[in-house]
Amino acid sequence: MTKPKFYGWKLVAVLFLLYLAAAIALYGGNIANTYMAKLMNMSRSLFGAGFAAAYLLVGLGSALAAVVTNKKGERFTLALGMAGVTAGALLMALWGQTPAGYILFFGLIIGTGFAFATVLPIQTIITRWFQRKRALATAVVLTAGGIGGIVSAPLVNKLIETTRGNWKLAWVCMAALAAITTVLAALFVRNNPADMGQVPDGIEQQPQDKEVEEKKVKKVYQTRESWTLKEAFKTAPLWIIILAAIGQFVGFYLCIGHGVIHLMDLGVANETAALSLGILAFASIGGRLLSGVLGDRIEPRFVIMGGLLLTIAGCILIINAAAVFTIYLYAILVGAGFGLVYVCLFTMLGNYYGAEKIQNFLGFMIPIITLFGASAPLLGGVIKDKTGSYTAAFIGAVVIAAIGFISLFFASPPKKT
């Protein structure tokens, strides 16, 4: 009997498409919401509150997603999340122009749907299906977020300009794409390799492989123990990983939420400002792929440190980014920095604490880092309204990222007592 081919890489392709559709709703929704805010003369505080609500629910929803995943499995959670994104996009097209509708549909429904449809169930699946190629598989799937930005930002901007400001049509198109991927999740996702009679990476561990694995562990640490979340609470690396993640996500969310509209305020052409978001997303692809290659070869925490440095530089540049070269350089730095951190953040977590209970770690960590990250667009909007400038907001993001960078010097692998 012919042994079935390893399903893991086909699964990676399916997860890629799911993440792509969710990312298009986020990045494309950013452009659609920017036009809506301009048309409705929406205050920057309210505009920022919508993004803050969405990102906050991405975090808080992840805790609920962990509960659903434990009870119903990753496939059910992914399909439910994409159905939520579909519903939220349709509701935005119908009633998103009101303050209550904007915060409820984009913030609550799409934010929660994104939480269910992306990082927690996807990373849980990847951690179970891959060990030797864990960082690479993670990188491939997470590049979907960058591609989603590249595709959606310029296309949605062009669609809205071509239809004379019809931002609602953009939401209808995004809802249709989300609906298609809801079906894909239900039909093709498989939670564990054992469900198909397979093993991680599709490779049976042979006795002679042990020496090779030991040598690999010396280069990139991967625990052979199964940690519970309660046990991890007592270890410093867990909290350092969270602190480093906060340092990255605060700056990134601030740039995503207010970067385009800040550049427009500086007098940058609408097309150039919108393109910066696409460039940022494109740069994140390179960062994610590079992170996937490096994360299987050197300690992920060093990759994360490099990403934080790039983000710090980008947040400094955007403060007065009037020249086209400066705008594009800012976008490249922040995008690449995010990509480097994003992949290795989850790889480091799995390497330090194991795959068996990874969903519980993600369900605990994501709400915390997203709570801080979601505050960035809200506080950024308040600072803009109060001071007339985003300068203090971007400087604050630089300081927080620097704290995360420094903390990683002390993130040695944890040991059970």
Question: Is 193 within 8 Å of 199 (Cβ atoms)?
Answer: yes
In sequence order, which residues have a C-beta less than 8 Å from that of residue 155 and are 6 or more positions away?
28
Rg (alpha carbons) of the chain, rounded to whole number: 21
What is the predicted pLDDT for the residue at 217?
A: 44
What is the predicted pLDDT for the residue at 18?
A: 95
Angle between helices 324-353 and 134-162 (to 10 degrees): 140
Q: Does the pLDDT value for residue 143 go beyond 50?
A: yes
**Domains of the chain by residue range:** 8-198+219-410
Query: For residue 133, what are its two tokens?
Result: 């190629």
Q: Tell which residue, 115, 107, 76, 131, has the closest CA to residue 355.
A: 131
What is the predicted pLDDT for the residue at 214?
A: 45
- pLDDT tens for 39-58 read 888 887 888 788 778 877 87
Q: Does the pLDDT value for residue 304 go beyond 80?
A: yes
Q: How far apart are CA 58 and CA 69, in angstroms?
A: 15
- pLDDT tens for 74-114 read 999 999 999 999 999 999 999 888 889 999 999 999 999 99
413: enclosing H helix or E strand:
none
Confidence of residue 189 (pLDDT cuts 50, 70, 90): very high
Between 146-150, 207-211, 254-258, the lowest mean confidence (pLDDT) is in: 207-211
Confidence of residue 383 (pLDDT cuts 50, 70, 90): very high
Cβ atoms within 10 Å of 269's Cβ, excluding its own = 11
Query: For residue 136, what are its two tokens?
Result: 């690479």
Confidence of residue 357 (pLDDT cuts 50, 70, 90): confident
DSSP 8-state symbol, 389: -
Q: Does the pLDDT value for residue 332 go beyond 90?
A: yes
The number of CA neighbours under 13 Å toward the Cβ of 241 is: 28
In sequence order, which residues have a C-beta less than 8 Å from that of residue 213 and are 6 or more positions away?
205
Q: How far apart are CA 239 and CA 355, in angstroms?
A: 18
Q: What is the DSSP string of 178-206?
A: HHHHHHHHHHH--S-GGGGT--GGG-PPP
Is the CA virtual torsion 371, 261, 308, 281 positive or negative?
A: positive
Q: Does the pLDDT value for residue 176 go beyond 80?
A: yes
| Dihedral, CA of residue 375, residue 380, residue 383 and residue 389, to nearest 10 | 170
- What is the architecture of the domain spanning 8-198+219-410? Up-down Bundle (1.20)
Cβ atoms within 10 Å of 163's Cβ, excluding its own = 12
Angle between helices 358-387 and 236-265 (to 10 degrees): 40
Question: Is 331 within 8 Å of 280 (Cβ atoms)?
Answer: yes
Confidence of residue 37 (pLDDT cuts 50, 70, 90): confident
Averaged pLDDT for residues 236-240? 94
DSSP 8-state symbol, 295: H
Angle between helices 236-265 and 300-317 (to 10 degrees): 20
Q: How far apart are CA 293 and CA 340, in angstroms?
A: 10
Burial letters 88-98, b for 16+ CB under 10 A, else e: bbbbbbeebbe
What is the predicted pLDDT for the residue at 216?
A: 46
